[in-house]
Chains A and B, each alone.
Chain A
Amino acid sequence: MSLPAFATLLERLLFTPGRLAKLALLRQWFASQPDPERGIGLAALTDELVLRVAKPALLREIVAARTDPELLRMSRDYVGDFAETAALIWPTRPGVNAPPPGLTEVVDAMEAAPKAELPALIADWMDRLDASGRIALAKLVTGGLRVGVSGRLARVALAEWSSVDVGEIEEVWHGVTPPYASLFAWLEGRAPRPDAAGQPVFRPLMLAHPLEANDLAALQHEAWRAEWKWDGIRVQVVAGPGGARLFSRGGEDVSGAFPEIVAGLGFNAVLDGELLVVRDGEVAPFGDLQQRLNRKTVTPKMLRESPAEVRLYDLLIEGEEDLRMLSFDARRARLEAFFAREAPARMALSPLIAFGSIAQLAAVRDGARAASIEGLMLKRGDSAYVAGRQKGLWWKWKRDPLSIDAVLMYAQRGSGKRSSFYSDYTFGVWRGEELVPVGKAYSGFTDAELVFLDRWVRNHTTARFGPVREVEKGLVLEVAFDAAQRSSRHRSGVALRFPRIARIRSDKPVEEADRLESVEALIAE
């Protein structure tokens, strides 16, 4: 009974933009489905399901055998996606009254059936399903669900549904496998927590709060240690007898995208660090790292041109010993000893910055101009490594943002709560007599400013392209951002890191907005 139920879930997740609504849908799935269906569904959503998949060509053959080629071609041209076309055009056969297949039945049979039997098997399932069931089936067997559910989102939903702390779930997640019977049994209070000893599992990261002016005034410099805040991707390196993994901040396994890192993990430890692309000792712009993310396979060219390394911040576990309750200073000493002993490949210690006063540290922060540095991290010397964002233990002290005065060029409607607001703004600067777009921002403004911007966009629209409006070149926005970088993918040749709307400059004539040359001057080489 559960493939149609799964199809309904997929359909709603696909069309639902809001995170809270997605969580509600997932909670309902966990609460309403039996084992092993709910676990298989969970694995399929989070891309953890290892399934022998049918080639798209197989689906084409099955459908072609049942339809007129001309009508199939026209339908394919209209719909775009072949799996969806196949599901929609599939002619129902009168007299088929077998119940729809279960999710488990499909997954098991895909695994066990001889290859020659797959076409007949899939055709039989198609006959027993309705259109949305057929879409789910076609996507499942060809291996492309793509519904935008991250593993992290699924784990938060599990936590909300079961009232178990998400951090605890994170610690066992990578040690359990589909259909997660032991996990569900634990979350329902029917069994003890699954034992993940020896497995390369993720431990929730310790996070920092942004440092505000009054926090700064209260700091006693002797109690604090300082490090660079690198502009890369925070990662956790896990290696031991059970295997080696590289996890992102949210607990996603990104090992596949960085094989050169994983290949060098010959020790038994859990480390916290920053993943960076480093060329000839120089940290490359964030964009270079971003291009390597979200890839299942990496080309030799990418490995050659954008080699990755990890700057180490912390040592959480060494051998069998959990160090997280030790102080930062004690862990740092262990980290340095570990590093000296193991000399791990493609890793470097992120150095501690010496300082004699907070004023001195402020000068260091102001003097750091390299694009690879976002600012400073302040960590209390006596702080344990605690999951999540606890106030007063770690601070992030970012550099003051850069800013430009840019001209609003296009606006797009938001989604969810913002669907009646033009809330995504593309802005540009002058190159000669023309404006070139340099970025897009959808945050930084207050609610009142959003109302103002929305009304301004509606009253100054010059053209519409679907959900996008082009506006009169008449409003200057002060845009703040963390760094400017060269980019061949943008028409202007410049990309901004984390741009946001700092102020609306209704007072400023558009002619006085910044020129591209002044944005280029902000690029830190």
Chain B
Amino acid sequence: MPPHPETWLCVRPEGLWCRPGEFYIDPVRAVPRAVITHGHSDHARPGHGAVLGTSETLAIMRARMGEGRAGDSQQALGYGEALAVNGVTVSLAPAGHVLGSAQVVMEWQGSRAVVSGDYKRRADPTCTAFEPVVCDVFVTEATFALPVFRHPPVEDEIAKLLASLALFPERAHVVGVYALGKCQRLIALLRRAGWDRPIYIHGGLVALCGLYEALGVPLGPLLPVPLVKRGGPAILAGEIVLAPPSAEATPWARRLAEPVTCAASGWMRVRQRAKARGIELPMIISDHADWDELLDTCAEVQAPEVWVTHGREDALIHALSLRGVRGRALHLVGFSEDDEEAAPVEAA
């Protein structure tokens, strides 16, 4: 009988540890050997020894951390390719979260565990779609694991922004987005909705947009937000401006013409969340699975047991138990409920 994954995949202070393979997955501290699911800063941390990931994830890590800090050595693995690590067969499957994001599939002595990292099931023009892998233990996130979180069709949310631009052509529309993933996805969605005009981007988003383009994701014309003299006329009326969340609260935003503060996030589904952040136009666009998608995915992978890394594990485990699936909370620390902590951007 194959060994239960409990016996070879365990939680240590550094993170999730594959014992026979002697590597960690998305460790929160620097470790000798790490497999990284994707480039968000709470999953990809600096200072590891050997790092394994998709070539896109490795490129993102180098761009964000600098060559020296993105692992002493890097090894790229394409989706579907297998690698033997101390008798553990490791392969990566697309997770659909951001460019290069992967699920880590591990097989040891006939038992298979899948660590999905962060994932979504909706189509995203900027990354490869999630592929379910049948397994004995499925390790999932639970960011939006409450039945109140059901993401509406993205086209409807983009239409809200375009309708607002038509109604308020005298105002700049500033959308708060994370630098990696959400920013580029939003641009791609706007292009698909027919917005051909240049999109203006905050300095904090420029580098990763350039990297996406270099990795073959076309984003159309992007322009930096121009500098203006203090007291000069307000600019970018009727234009779309993308900026890190909370940039609208900083002096940076004062050059913009009566900005409409927009946000693109799954949290915008709950009104109090949007109100508390002073968002005038909330758009429910998420790079995470919603409630139905979490449950559907757990069913598709046919795992009799699901481990939950972070988020609302109580609700997900309860719902899985109603379906006869054993759930287990891993209580991993170090993962933020948003994709990344909003970095202070006052100086930008």
Chain B residue nearest in CB terms to A74: B315
Cα distance A311–B188 in the bound complex, in angstroms: 65
Interface of chain B residues 283 through 303 with chain A (CB within 8 A) = none
Stretch at the interface among A48-56, A101-109, A402-410, A411-419: A411-419
Contacts of A12 in B (CB 8 A): 164, 281
Residues B280 and A17 in contact, CB atoms below 8 Å apart = yes
Cα distance A135–B148 in the bound complex, in angstroms: 12
Interface check B158, CB cutoff 8 A = no
Contacts of B164 in A (CB 8 A): 12
Contacts of B282 in A (CB 8 A): 15
Residues B148 and A417 in contact, CB atoms below 8 Å apart = no
Residues A417 and B258 in contact, CB atoms below 8 Å apart = yes
Interface of chain A residues 83 through 126 with chain B (CB within 8 A) = 84-85, 88-89, 91
Contacts of A458 in B (CB 8 A): 346
Interface check B7, CB cutoff 8 A = no
Contacts A413-B249, A420-B248, A458-B346 given; indicate if A79 touches B270 (C-beta within 8 A).
Answer: yes
Q: Tell me the total A-B contact number using a CB cutoff of 8 A.
A: 90
- State which of A80, A91, A130, A416 has its C-beta within 8 Å of the C-beta of B272: A80
Residues A419 and B278 in contact, CB atoms below 8 Å apart = yes
Contacts of A75 in B (CB 8 A): 146-148, 315
How many chain B residues sit at the interface, stated as a range, is 35 or more
Contacts of B260 in A (CB 8 A): 21
Contacts of A342 in B (CB 8 A): none
Interface check A177, CB cutoff 8 A = no
Residues B167 and A15 in contact, CB atoms below 8 Å apart = no
Chain B residue nearest in CB terms to A85: B148
Please encode chain A, from 56 to 79, with 1 for each CB lying within 8 Å of some chain B CB and 0 for all others. Answer: 000000000001101100110011
Interface check A463, CB cutoff 8 A = no
Interface check A131, CB cutoff 8 A = yes
Cα distance A15–B250 in the bound complex, in angstroms: 20
- Which secondary structure dominates chain A's binding surface? helix
- State which of A71, A91, A130 has its C-beta within 8 Å of the C-beta of B152: A130
Contacts of A28 in B (CB 8 A): 167
Interface check B59, CB cutoff 8 A = no
Chain B residue nearest in CB terms to A15: B280
Cα distance A196–B306 in the bound complex, in angstroms: 69
Contacts of B278 in A (CB 8 A): 17, 413, 415, 419, 467
Contacts A21-B168, A74-B315, A458-B346 given; indicate if A420 touches B270 (C-beta within 8 A).
Answer: no
- State which of A67, A131, A415 has its C-beta within 8 Å of the C-beta of B150: A131
Residues A466 and B146 in contact, CB atoms below 8 Å apart = no
Cα distance A12–B278 in the bound complex, in angstroms: 13
Cα distance A84–B312 in the bound complex, in angstroms: 19
Interface centre among B148, B253, B272 (most CB of A within 10 A): B148
Residues A420 and B254 in contact, CB atoms below 8 Å apart = yes
Residues A71 and B319 in contact, CB atoms below 8 Å apart = yes
Contacts of B251 in A (CB 8 A): 420, 454
Contacts A24-B168, A74-B146 given; indicate if A420 touches B152 (C-beta within 8 A).
Answer: no
Contacts of B167 in A (CB 8 A): 24-25, 28
Contacts of B275 in A (CB 8 A): 14-15
Min CB distance A351 to B, Å, is 48
Interface of chain B residues 42 through 76 with chain A (CB within 8 A) = none
Interface residues in A, total, Cβ within 8 A: 38
Interface centre among B248, B249, B252 (most CB of A within 10 A): B249
Contacts of A162 in B (CB 8 A): none
Interface of chain B residues 231 through 283 with chain A (CB within 8 A) = 248-254, 258-261, 269-272, 274-276, 278-282
Chain B residue nearest in CB terms to A76: B148
Interface check A81, CB cutoff 8 A = yes
Interface centre among B146, B248, B272, B276 (most CB of A within 10 A): B146
Cα distance A415–B276 in the bound complex, in angstroms: 12
Residues B346 and A78 in contact, CB atoms below 8 Å apart = no
Interface check B314, CB cutoff 8 A = yes
Min CB distance A142 to B, Å, is 16
Interface of chain B residues 210 through 237 with chain A (CB within 8 A) = none
Contacts of B254 in A (CB 8 A): 420
Interface check B322, CB cutoff 8 A = yes
- State which of B272, B281, B318 has its C-beta within 8 Å of the C-beta of A71: B318
Chain B residue nearest in CB terms to A25: B167
Residues B148 and A16 in contact, CB atoms below 8 Å apart = no
Cα distance A130–B269 in the bound complex, in angstroms: 12
Interface of chain B residues 148 through 189 with chain A (CB within 8 A) = 148-150, 152, 160, 164, 167-168
Cα distance A135–B274 in the bound complex, in angstroms: 15
Contacts A24-B167, A25-B167 given; indicate if A78 touches B147 (C-beta within 8 A).
Answer: no
Cα distance A78–B270 in the bound complex, in angstroms: 9
Cα distance A171–B20 in the bound complex, in angstroms: 83
Cα distance A15–B167 in the bound complex, in angstroms: 15
Extra contacts, 12 of them, besides A88-B150, A89-B147 (Cβ < 8 A), are A8-B160, A14-B275, A15-B271, A15-B279, A15-B282, A24-B167, A67-B147, A75-B146, A79-B270, A84-B271, A131-B269, A419-B253
**26 pairs, CB–CB < 8 Å, chain A vs chain B:** A8-B160, A12-B164, A15-B271, A15-B274, A15-B275, A21-B168, A68-B318, A68-B319, A68-B322, A71-B315, A71-B318, A75-B148, A78-B148, A79-B270, A81-B271, A88-B150, A88-B270, A89-B148, A413-B278, A415-B278, A419-B259, A420-B248, A420-B250, A420-B254, A466-B276, A467-B278
Q: List residues of B whose CB falls within 8 A of some A CB.
A: 146-150, 152, 160, 164, 167-168, 248-254, 258-261, 269-272, 274-276, 278-282, 312, 314-315, 318-319, 322, 346
| CB-CB nearest 3 A-B residue pairs | A88-B148, A420-B253, A75-B148
